[in-house]
Amino acid sequence: MNKPLRHIAIFCGLLVLALLLRDNWIQYVRANELATHERNKRVTIERYASVRGNIIVDGKPITGSVDSKDPFYKYKRTYINGPMWAPVTGYASQAYDANQIEKLEDGILTGNDDRLFFDRTTSMFTGDSKKGGDVVTTLNGAAQKAAFKGLGDKKGAVAAIDPATGKILALASTPSYDPSTFAGYSAKDEKAWVALEKDKDKPKLNRALREIYPPGSTFKVVTAAAALEYGVVSDINAQTDTPEPYILPNTRTPMVNHAEGCEKASLNKALEVSCNSVFARLGDQVGRDNMVKMAEKFGFNNAEIDTPVRAAASAYDKTMDRPGNALSSIGQFNTATTPLQMAMVTAAIANDGKLMKPYMIDELRSPNLDVLQKNEPEEMSRPISPKTAQLVQQMMENVVENGTGKKARIDGVKVGGKTGTAQHGEKNKARPYAWFISYAKTDSGSPVAVAVIVEDSDATRDDISGGGLAGPIARDVMKAVLDSRK
């Protein structure tokens, strides 16, 4: 073979080798990436080629599938009480992908998960149509209905947890949206999606998990726990040395109280009427570093919590000065939290100091109802001792019996709570947020802890209060859980 032909042969051989390498790279190394790529239409077509599994609450599906009569996408997702359950389910759309449980458990719901290989193989021989598996949630339908109804046309959120297990019982966010309105890919679906994207009230935002707020006076339970745990206070009924007015450390700024009788008020009395001065001073006495440690034990400053839907991280500033720490100790300044985080704080106190990791999926099931995965309760931390927790419980129960939380009372049930009215906006001129955290206690323990925030309402600024706006919602959610267990 002459030299030019040899060069051509070598060059062609290299091209063939490069083609083989490229082909193997695509088929094996990048196979999974390309198979699941968002621009691969085959993924979406496959997702809706068969009946999608359901998301289950109280043994009943809150989702469904209908024949869409479409040449590409055979089935379309449907939702029962879509706006109420959207913060839990998320959406599954032929045009706009999916999110939350619909996205995270897509493999189970479509039937493509490796754990469903046997079911897929069996259906090939039996001739049965392929079906997806089910996602069984921890949610309590009655509690969710009470939360959603209580929020009504107000902007806000509710998170409710079983303190003993960490199971999420309710997760409501308003305003909400109906995932059914854009489950397809028609012009009508596009119009609904665009309208949601442009809505200034952000109905697609999961406020219970993904929005952070100043917690206001609800954070005082954390400060109270820190004061007891670090030995600043030993007797909750003993007078403190709090002057009136109390001047923030290193400043000439007085701490404003919105309650009377705060001078030298005991810890118990200060929580009952919500004295800013007492808790700002206690936060300063505990010190920034110990306040940070306490907040972090409850879940602040931690990485995002996966429920499995990811919750935003709550924050307690690690670098602020003394006056900043004093303000943060009453839930203002840079302190920021999600409703889920405040439900976790309440749950840990109700559970005698043990914080359980929150989760909302109980089990994953195959189409023939075999359990593929069962989630078990998992301890997250022990922020405070049982003794401290029980003292904080006494104070929270006093708030409901004699203080600002009276509207959360439930006949025949011991309820602990704390109100909060969080200032925000430039120079605190925006309408305050109304908070309420609470738990219900029976002879067999505390089956529910709740956090409620109302961002906006029809009430005038002077009438906005955690006890007045958020307290009744928390009461109804707790009562729904208690009634469902009878």
Q: What is the 3-state secondary structure (H, E, C) of the chain?
A: CCHHHHHHHHHHHHHHHHHHHHHHHHHHHCHHHHHCCCCCHHHHHHHCCCECCCEEECCEECEEEEECCCCCCCEEEEECCHHHHHHHHCCEECCCEECHHHHHCHHHHHCCCHHHHHHHHHHHHHCCCCECCEEEECCCHHHHHHHHHHHCCCEEEEEEECCCCCEEEEEEEECCCCHHHHCCCCHHHHHHHHHHHHCCCCCCCCHHHHCCECCHHHHHHHHHHHHHHCCCCCCCCCCCCCCCCEECCCCCCEECCCCCCCCCCCHHHHHHHCCHHHHHHHHHHHCHHHHHHHHHHHCCCCCCEECCCEECCCECCCCCCHHHHHHHCCCCCCCEECHHHHHHHHHHHHCCCCEECCECEEEEECCCCCEEEECCCCEEECCCCHHHHHHHHHHHHHHHHHCCCHHHCECCEEEEEEEEEECCCHHHCCCCEEEEEEEEEECCEEEEEEEEEEEECCCCHHHCCHHHHHHHHHHHHHHHHHHHCC
Active centre residues (catalytic): 217
